[in-house]
Amino acid sequence: QLKLKGDGRSFQFRVKADSRESYSYITSFETNGDWQTITLPLSSLYPSFRGRTLQRPNFNHDLLSEVTILIANKKNEDFELLISEISTVD
The mean pLDDT of 78-90, rounded to a whole number, is 89
CA distance 25 to 77: 24
Buried b / exposed e across 5-43, counting CB within 10 Å, b at 16+?
Answer: ebeeeebbbbbbbeeeeeebbbbebebeeeeeeeebeee
pLDDT at 58: 82
pLDDT at 24: 94
Closest CA to 84 of 39, 14, 37, 43: 37
Over the chain, what is the mean pLDDT? 90
User: Which is higher by pLDDT, 62 or 5?
Assistant: 5
The mean pLDDT of 63-71, rounded to a whole number, is 90
* pTM for this predicted structure: 0.86
